């Protein structure tokens, strides 16, 4: 007889397997055009974070500021999830598994903005552009492809922009993603 904990664990393993299949499929399509659907940015973010929260330390607090009204953007949700997953993993690494990651959605004119802030070690301004270059890494293990692929997905597949909005050594980093809103 399976205990509820075991059933929950098996369910999460099934989700991981499905996610790995999706990642393999995504990598086979790199360079191809992504199908985009109009979605509520906050709802897409919540779905992505529900997956991630179970896979990081309990000492990481997730804070999500809900916008006053729905903000619609065109997304390929599996690719968006990959972007969020990489930014969260980098934030968790920078915080050494303990701290907070905050998400804030805003809009101005025809654009929607998603700010992702961590309470990690931060970085000097001189690294703001370098971190997006393929092969750049500060980790002992890693290929330095995460942020370069994040940038490619945001800019090539979603016609958006991503940049370091601010960072301060010892305080943390905020990334900003800008995308065009769906006209209502």
Per-residue pLDDT reduced to its tens digit, 30-56: 666 778 999 999 999 999 999 899 889
Whether the pLDDT of residue 1 is over 90: the answer is no
Distance (Å, rounded) from C-alpha 163 to C-alpha 166?
Answer: 9
Tokens of residue 105, six digits:
């959605």
In this structure, the number of other CB atoms found within 10 A of the CB of residue 151 comes to 20
Whether the pLDDT of residue 138 is over 80: the answer is no
**For the CA atoms of the chain, what is the radius of gyration?**
17
In this structure, the number of other CB atoms found within 10 A of the CB of residue 82 comes to 21
Whether the pLDDT of residue 27 is over 70: the answer is no
Question: pLDDT band at 2, cuts 50/70/90?
Answer: low
HEC-encoded secondary structure of 24-43: HHHHHCCCCCCCCEEEEHHH
Whether the pLDDT of residue 88 is over 80: the answer is yes
Distance (Å, rounded) from C-alpha 102 to C-alpha 42?
Answer: 13
Give the pLDDT score at 22.
72
Over residues 122-127, mean pLDDT: 93
Question: pLDDT band at 3, cuts 50/70/90?
Answer: confident
Farthest CA pair distance, the chain: 57
pLDDT tens-digit series, residues 56-87:
999 999 999 999 999 999 999 989 999 999 99
Give the pLDDT score at 28.
62
Distance (Å, rounded) from C-alpha 175 to C-alpha 104?
Answer: 11
pTM equals 0.83
């Amino acid at each position: 007889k399976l205990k509820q904990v075991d059933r929950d664990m098996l369910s999460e393993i099934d989700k991981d397997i499905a996610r790995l299949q999706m990642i393999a499929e995504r990598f086979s399509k790199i360079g191809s055009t992504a199908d985009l659907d109009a979605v509520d940015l906050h709802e897409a973010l919540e779905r992505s974070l529900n997956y991630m929260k179970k896979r990081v330390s309990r000492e990481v607090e997730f804070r999500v500021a809900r916008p006053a009204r729905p903000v619609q953007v065109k997304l390929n949700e599996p690719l968006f999830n990959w972007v969020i997953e990489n930014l969260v993993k980098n934030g968790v690494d920078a915080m050494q598994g303990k701290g907070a990651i905050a998400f804030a959605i805003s809009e101005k004119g025809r654009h929607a903005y998603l700010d992702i802030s961590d309470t990690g070690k931060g970085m000097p301004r001189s690294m703001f552009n370098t971190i997006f270059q393929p092969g750049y890494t500060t980790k002992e293990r890693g290929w330095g492809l995460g942020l370069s692929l994040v940038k490619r997905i945001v800019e090539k597949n979603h016609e958006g922009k991503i940049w370091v909005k601010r960072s301060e050594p010892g305080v943390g980093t905020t990334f900003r993603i800008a995308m065009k809103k769906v006209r209502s």
